[in-house]
Amino acid sequence: MKLLFIGPPGAGKGTQAARVADRLGIPHISTGDMFRHHVSTETDLGLLVDSIMKAGEYVPDEITVEMLRERVAEPDAAGGYILDGFPRTAGQVAALDGLLGEDGLDSVVVFDVDEDALVERLLGRGRADDTEDTIRNRFKVYEEQTAPLLGIYGERGLLVHVDGIGEMEEITDRILSALSTQNSEPTTDNS
Ligand code: AMP
């Protein structure tokens, strides 16, 4: 199964992607985690993306797509995976379509969360790229570049909306049950 988790910064998608991937026995692929690993181990890529991440901007598509392409080609990804934080731009959607085909994803899980709750959650997280200015900019970039992806995947009938407010365990169960409901529905003929 190939899933994409999408939602505004701080919606809890990373935590939930890791938990759901664990329950489904498939890898959790987070481009944010991969970039953070490059930064902390001071690779060339890490040195390049550090200031971009600190500003709350997106890493250029060419770099992100190449990193993702290599990751999904690894043997553990052969049976499916959860993509967390990729694709995030229309260009990345096109690149993913090129890799998987337009019908490559099974579902796109969307986190619905109130913005005030998110800012509070992010300020409490204490990550290096969680200053108030960065948070504000990440929201703006999300609205401009990533929110439009919901239109693309919505047209393909892939969206599964999940209420992202609540206890961590409860949200994991919500996601798993929403996915099993979606997958047991008869598929529509798009031809
Ligand atoms: P995340 O952990 O998903 O919130 O990602 C943290 C930061 O990594 C983002 O604010 C971007 O700077 C960068 N990043 C992660 N994934 C992507 C992506 N798909 N495209 C561009 N930049 C990304």
Quote the pLDDT of residue 191: 43
Among 31, 37, 141, which is best to mutate for testing ligand 1, by the most ligand atoms less than 8 A from CB? 31
Locate 69 and state its tokens: 């392409």
The DSSP string of 95-114 is HHHHHH-TT--SEEEEEE--
Q: Is the pLDDT at 43 greater than 60, yes or no?
A: yes
Give the phi and the psi of residue 108 in degrees, each rounded to 5. -120, 110
The tens digit of pLDDT for each residue in 137-189 reads 888 899 899 999 999 999 999 999 999 988 999 999 999 999 998 767 655 54
Query: In terms of DSSP H, where are the helices of 80-167?
Result: 90-100, 115-123, 132-141, 149-155
Interval between CA 87 and ligand 1 midpoint (Å): 10
Q: Within 10 A of 118 (CB to CB), how many other CB atoms are there?
A: 22
Q: Is the pLDDT at 78 greater than 80, yes or no?
A: yes
Q: Is the pLDDT at 94 greater than 50, yes or no?
A: yes
Among 51, 52, 59, which is best to mutate for testing ligand 1, by the most ligand atoms less than 8 A from CB? 59
pTM beyond 0.85? yes
Q: Is the pLDDT at 135 greater than 90, yes or no?
A: no
CB 85 within 8 A of CB 141: no
Q: For the chain, give the percent of residues with pLDDT over 70.
A: 95
Ligand 1 atom at shortest distance from the alpha carbon of 55: 12
Closest residue by CA, ligand 1 atom 11 = 58
Locate 79 and state its tokens: 């049976």
* Cα–Cα distance for residue pair 113/93, rounded to 1 Å: 23
Locate 138 and state its tokens: 């990440």
